[in-house]
Amino acid sequence: MDKLTIRDFDPAGKRVLVRVDFNVPVEDGKVKDDTRIRAALPTIRYLLSHGASIVLMSHLGRPKGKVVESARLRPVAERLSSLLGRPVPVTGDALGIGTRDAVARLKPGQLLLLENLRFHGEEEANDAEYAATLASYGDVFVNDAFGTAHRAHASTVGVASHLPGYAGLLMEAEINALSKLLEAPAKPFAAVIGGAKVSGKLGVLENLLTKVDALLIGGGMANTFIVAQGHTVGKSLLERELVDDAQRILELAEKRGVQVVLPTDVVVAKEVTRGAEHKVVPVHKVPNSWSIVDIGPASTDAFTQALEPMQTVLWNGPLGVFEVPTFGDGTRAIARFLARRADDGATVIVGGGDSVAALEELGLTDRLAHVSTGGGATLEFLEGRELPGVAVLEDRPAADPAPRRRAAKSGKESQAIVAAGDRKARS
């Protein structure tokens, strides 16, 4: 990675402002899934054990600039506290004298969590004054919130104009895994793309077409491609305005010699609900008033056959309406197959909230090379875009002494070089 990380400065005695993504599902005051909290533990433990104190900051949900009781971070702090085995107090607010004093009282090895950053509209607006206040809580800034790195908010971007910014260990792992995928994947490389809509993933499909040997398309997004192939899809989810784009992607794939695998048979249902009447039909025989809800068994076989020789597989988006168990056969079959490929040494990377949820349900996450904690951030990264929350972090100085960046950021650049020098001196 070309950004400096927490291993590139000496945390001892420093107060470190750490942006984490603790945007986890909370129900009845309890954290339902603590994956994102556990994912931040390596950074937190590293900093504490190296003598830093930590001011953690996160958002939770979409309170839109108001205090929303159900979006308080207390349940998150409780879970973090039990994972770390030490107290994690939450401030009453991200701002205010009480918070400032609590931060000032922190001793090395101690941490606290600021209350939900989005209780202030200034967070998402990347308000300069709000960012300056947050920055005043720390000596250095660490961004470990990969899942929020595609947003230019006060806590992800604004603070970095006041403090030198470093990548946390989760941020580093995410970027390394996803960059390897785009830059140097073991070949052959296939992408399995599903999920509801083409619209959110058009850029990803286009960028991946320049990297992959095979592109497998399922889920609701396949419908738009099925129509582009000249079939009808009844009442299925369809983005008619994107049929031309789908057509263009198919042509581009052909030109580039990328193998495209689309469903040849599908599960159709009278209603997209549990218990609805359903059957398997060839893709050119979808009845008018039925909806496609999953890939069919012949398609599942074709998908696994295409994946068998692959050394790298990226999977994003379920292949059917897997929330209804009857319509989750395709998704489950591919998930199990990919776990087996991973056991055999293939690099399997999964990104996307719903795809990851499907894997977790099956207990397969641990068998894969990398399961991304990002949703939108992962997609934007895979589109080949630089994420704003990553862009602001300190660049790793080139081995060559010639500065890689021009004068504008020279102040930060020299700090970064000093920090990197620090590390050398210590190791």
The residues assigned a catalytic role are 36, 197, 353, 376
Q: Which does 320 bind (CB under 5 to 8 A by kind): Mg ion, ligand ADP, none?
A: ligand ADP
For residues 237 to 276, the per-residue mask of contacts with ligand ADP, x marking binding by CB under 6 A and - elsewhere, is x---------------------------------------
Peptide bond into 188 cis (omega under 30): yes
Q: Which does 292 bind (CB under 5 to 8 A by kind): ligand ADP, Mg ion, none?
A: ligand ADP
> Based on the number of CB atoms within 10 Å of its own CB, is 244 exposed (0-12), middle (13-18) or buried (19 or more)?
exposed
Minimum CB separation of residue 161 from ligand ADP in Å reads 32
Residue owning tokens 């129900």: 27
Q: Nearest Cα to 77, choosing from 134, 20, 133, 119?
A: 20
Within 363-409, residue ranges assigned H as helices are 376-382, 388-391
Which residue number, 196 or 391, has a Cβ lying nearer to ligand ADP?
196
Q: Which does 321 bind (CB under 5 to 8 A by kind): Mg ion, ligand ADP, none?
A: ligand ADP
Q: Which does 318 bind (CB under 5 to 8 A by kind): Mg ion, ligand ADP, none?
A: ligand ADP
Tokens read off for 26 = 């909370």
Q: Which does 361 bind (CB under 5 to 8 A by kind): Mg ion, ligand ADP, none?
A: none
Which residue number, 113 or 204, has a Cβ lying nearer to Mg ion?
204
Which residue number, 137 or 322, has a Cβ lying nearer to Mg ion?
322
Q: Which does 168 bind (CB under 5 to 8 A by kind): Mg ion, ligand ADP, none?
A: none
Q: Produce one character per residue of 126-147: b if its CB has 16 or more CB atoms within 10 Å, e if not.
A: bbeebbebbbebbbbbbbbbbb
Task: Centre a 10 Å sphere on the Cβ of residue 65 and count the other Cβ atoms it contains.
Answer: 14
Q: Which residues pair with 167 in a beta bridge?
A: 5, 143
The residue from 147, 195, 374, 389 that contacts ligand ADP (CB under 6 A) is 195
**293 in contact with ligand ADP (CB under 6 A):** yes
For residues 13 to 32, the per-residue mask of contacts with ligand ADP, x marking binding by CB under 6 A and - elsewhere, is --------------------
The residue from 316, 347, 372, 373 that contacts ligand ADP (CB under 6 A) is 316
Restricting to residues 318-377, name those near Mg ion by CB under 5 A: 353-354
**Where is 425: in which H helix or E strand?**
helix 410-426
Given a contact cutoff of 8 angstroms between Cβ atoms, the answer to whether 340 and 314 are in contact is: no
**329 in contact with ligand ADP (CB under 6 A):** no
Q: Nearest Cα to 113, choosing from 148, 75, 162, 151?
A: 75
* Number of shown-chain residues binding Mg ion (CB under 5 A): 2
Question: What CA–CA distances, in Å, run from 81 to 37, 102, 115, 117, 375?
Answer: 10, 17, 15, 19, 26
Report the C-alpha gap between 389 and 158 in whole angstroms. 9
- Residue 112 CB partners (closer than 8 Å, separation 6+): 54, 55, 56, 88, 89, 90, 91, 102, 103, 106
Given a contact cutoff of 8 angstroms between Cβ atoms, the answer to whether 217 and 193 are in contact is: yes
Which residue number, 67 or 362, has a Cβ lying nearer to Mg ion?
362
Report the C-alpha gap between 299 and 265 in whole angstroms. 6
For residues 353 to 382, the per-residue mask of contacts with ligand ADP, x marking binding by CB under 6 A and - elsewhere, is xxx-------------------x-------
For residues 336 to 355, the per-residue mask of contacts with ligand ADP, x marking binding by CB under 6 A and - elsewhere, is ----------------xxxx
Minimum CB separation of residue 375 from ligand ADP in Å reads 6
**380 in contact with Mg ion (CB under 5 A):** no
**Regarding beta strands 347-351 and 312-316, do their DSSP bridges make them parallel or antiparallel, or are they unpaired?**
parallel
Which residue number, 312 or 316, has a Cβ lying nearer to ligand ADP?
316
Q: Which does 220 bind (CB under 5 to 8 A by kind): Mg ion, ligand ADP, none?
A: ligand ADP
* Number of shown-chain residues binding ligand ADP (CB under 6 A): 19
Q: Nearest Cα to 383, choosing from 82, 219, 181, 123?
A: 181
The footprint of Mg ion (CB under 5 A) covers: 353-354
The footprint of ligand ADP (CB under 6 A) covers: 194-196, 219-220, 237, 292-293, 316-318, 320-321, 323, 352-355, 375
